[in-house]
């Protein structure tokens, strides 16, 4: 494992400074002088920041060494933190404060009234961000890496077909073809004789379900095997260098709502929606020198994969876990020499908080609020990590992987119906 050869850092701010101003619009009673309005606005920090740290390894004469055929496989890490603080509310209200001073006649019954108008911008005091727990992020990241790495190693395969599985299932395939041809003959015969009552039986739900499953698991595999046979015959034999790839991605999201969060500046409370999401995508690669032979092209060396293919109901297990890929990834490949492997990972942790309502109340010590407007405003924090991991290890056990589509859901429903009826 090489040591890091270069570290680059950059930190910056973005946005404009915000301010809040007061304006005196009333006059004092009984000749008492009014206090002066502030001459300078209150200023606040910039609205957000961005920082970036990059760590990579420096290879002298990199291009020449690549041209000479050397395989260079180095790690990489780049972390970018981007925060946008857009949570600025617009305030416009008038309040009246009494009992601030005795009037100049020193009569307790007479009070000094002062009216103020305030308008401008003021940064709300938000709650902390909601976060996806670090343990959940770590587990999700590792699972996605495992799925991508296993998929890449499972793709280390020069075969165009699984000859042993095709031969083993040949009897069933022949019977299926015979049944299909015989059924087609009977249907054409009934059409010719206008036997509509007998034809109607072919369109009952049970018959249609059987024909659908017949297509999915008899006709379609037979067509795939035929194409594989043609490709195996035509494929060039010899030695080549090839990169086998695999990828995976997943994400998770958390949400909550916080009520009555204090803000100050005569705004007693506000409500906030918070969201945290974490997404990971991984792309793995394995660079290999491959010797393509008749043995590998026809898949004769794929013993473990063939046994898994022939075992009943294993195709359903592959809808919920990467068991088939895991077996293929751990099976040695004849004529294949691995030169390098890696996985690139992109993970994003995004957190937002949005003010959805603000309220003001009458202050019992003499402040009277007249109006207050705070439009919805939102803060966003995003941490983006790009990394390249060299020589990742294959996972010890298969990983869960939901691999369903509308056709597989339909297949599963028909299979369960047949099992329980």
Are 89 and 193 contained in the same domain? no
Domain boundary among 234, 252, 286: 234
Mean pLDDT of all residues in 142-166: 88
Choice among 37-46, 86-95, 187-196, 315-324 with the minimum mean pLDDT: 37-46
Per-residue pLDDT band for 104 (boundaries 50, 70, 90) equals very low
Q: Is the pLDDT of residue 118 over 70?
A: no
How many structural domains are present in the chain? 2
Q: Is residue 111 part of a domain?
A: yes
Query: In which domain, by residue range, is 87 found?
Result: 6-160+235-420
- For residue 247, report the phi and psi dihedrals to the nearest 5 degrees: -150, 160
Q: What pTM does this model have?
A: 0.75
What's the confidence (pLDDT) of residue 30?
39
Cα 200 from Cα 178, distance rounded (Å) = 22
Q: Is residue 219 part of a domain?
A: yes
Here the tokens at position 142 are: 């590792």
Here the tokens at position 21 are: 């101003």
Are 318 and 411 contained in the same domain? yes
What's the confidence (pLDDT) of residue 363?
47
Are 37 and 112 contained in the same domain? yes
Tell which residue, 339, 252, 374, has the closest CA to residue 70.
339
Cα 300 from Cα 289, distance rounded (Å) = 19
CB contact at 8 A, 187 and 211: no
Q: Is residue 1 part of a domain?
A: no
Are 240 and 201 contained in the same domain? no
Choice among 21-25, 218-222, 409-413 with the minimum mean pLDDT: 21-25
């Amino acid at each position: 494992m090489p040591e890091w050869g270069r570290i680059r850092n950059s930190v910056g701010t973005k946005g404009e400074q915000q301010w809040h101003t007061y304006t005196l619009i009333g006059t004092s009673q009984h000749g008492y002088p009014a206090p002066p309005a502030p001459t300078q606005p209150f200023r606040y920090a910039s609205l957000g920041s961005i920082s970036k740290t990059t760590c990579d390894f420096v290879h002298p004469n990199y291009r020449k060494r690549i041209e000479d055929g050397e395989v260079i496989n180095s790690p990489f890490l780049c972390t970018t933190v981007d925060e946008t603080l857009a949570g600025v509310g617009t305030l416009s209200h008038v309040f009246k404060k009494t009992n601030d001073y005795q009037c100049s006649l020193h009569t307790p019954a007479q009070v000094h009234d002062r009216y103020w108008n305030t308008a401008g911008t003021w940064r709300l005091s938000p709650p902390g961000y909601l976060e996806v727990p670090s343990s959940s992020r770590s587990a999700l990241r590792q699972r996605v890496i495992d799925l991508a790495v296993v998929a890449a190693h499972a793709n280390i395969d020069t075969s165009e077909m699984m000859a042993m599985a095709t031969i083993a299932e040949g009897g069933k395939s022949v019977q299926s073809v015979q049944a299909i041809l015989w059924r087609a003959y009977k249907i054409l015969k009934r059409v010719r004789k206008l036997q509509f009552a007998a034809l109607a039986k072919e369109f009952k739900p049970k018959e249609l379900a059987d024909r659908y499953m017949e297509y999915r698991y008899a006709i379609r595999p037979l067509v795939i095997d035929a194409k594989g046979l043609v490709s195996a015959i035509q494929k060039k034999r010899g030695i080549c260098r090839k990169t086998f790839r695999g990828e995976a991605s997943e994400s998770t999201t958390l949400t909550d709502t916080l009520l009555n969060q204090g803000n100050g500046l005569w705004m007693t409370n506000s409500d906030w929606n918070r969201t945290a999401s974490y997404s990971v995508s991984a792309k793995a690669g394995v660079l290999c020198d491959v010797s393509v032979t008749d043995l590998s092209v026809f898949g004769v060396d794929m013993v473990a994969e063939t046994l898994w293919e022939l075992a009943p109901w294993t195709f359903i297990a592959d809808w919920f876990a990467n068991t088939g890929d895991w077996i293929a990834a751990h099976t040695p490949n004849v004529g294949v020499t691995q030169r390098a492997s890696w996985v690139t990972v992109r993970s994003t942790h995004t957190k937002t908080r949005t003010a959805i309502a603000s309220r003001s109340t009458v202050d019992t010590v003499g402040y009277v609020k007249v109006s207050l407007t705070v439009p919805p405003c939102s803060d966003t924090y995003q941490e983006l990590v790009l990394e390249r991991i060299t020589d990742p290890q294959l996972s010890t056990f298969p990983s869960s992987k939901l691999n369903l589509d509308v056709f597989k859901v339909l297949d599963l429903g028909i299979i369960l119906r047949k099992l329980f009826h």
